[in-house]
Amino acid sequence: MGASTLAYIVLLAMAFSVASASDPSPLQDFCVAVNDTNDSVFVNGKFCKDPKLATPNDFFFSGLRVPGNTSNKLGSMVTPANVAQIPGLNTLGVSLARVDYAPYGLNPPHSHPRATEILTVLEGTLYVGFVTSNPDNRLISKVLHKGDVFVFPQGLIHFQLNVGKTNAVAIASLSSQNPGVITIANAVFGSKPAISADVLTKAFQVDKNVVNYLQSQFWTDNHTY
């Protein structure tokens, strides 16, 4: 294989990897998502409404003006504004979420499989961080104040903790219309059916009684849907 041919293959592979790194680019002004399959077109996981029938409400959501209910074990609540709440986001590749924190409330370690997140603190003081992938598993963390911004790379485990004595609020911007969320504790110890204790005792190097205790807990989901 010639050097020029090899170089072409490498460049082509890089182009494909970049092209698949986020939601596909839209090929029209918008594609309002609908559940009705009659006279509609299936695009990027959703059916599209006839553009002539689009209304302002297809691009509108008032839910972020309402504080989330933080009276749970975690002391936090995430209110998403993605394609499920705003049908007009379909194919546009962006979404938002409001995160409310009670004093010392935690948005627990989780990841977004399909999006990078940029977090802006509106009120309060947050300790935030993410962990890099194997083998380093390096913690990159910082204390944020009102107006500060922090980025969580796509797919990496991250968290936010309100370290102040008052409520805190943040807005998360995400690079996908449907970023998804995997809360680590819920997924590992709250799966249905449960993961075998033999797997978890070896994976976490703890006694089986510890695993049984963790699996018996009620794992809070701090997301509204």
112 known ligand binder: yes
Residue 107 assigned ligand-binding role: yes
Q: Does the annotation place 158 within a ligand binding site?
A: yes
Residue 145 annotated as binding? no
CA distances from 221 to 56, 74, 75 (A): 31, 9, 11
Q: Is 223 annotated as a binding residue?
A: no
Contact 100, 94 (CB under 8 A): no
Binding-site positions for oxalate read: 107, 112, 117
Binding-site positions for Mn(2+) read: 110, 112, 117, 158
Binding-site positions read: 107, 110, 112, 117, 158
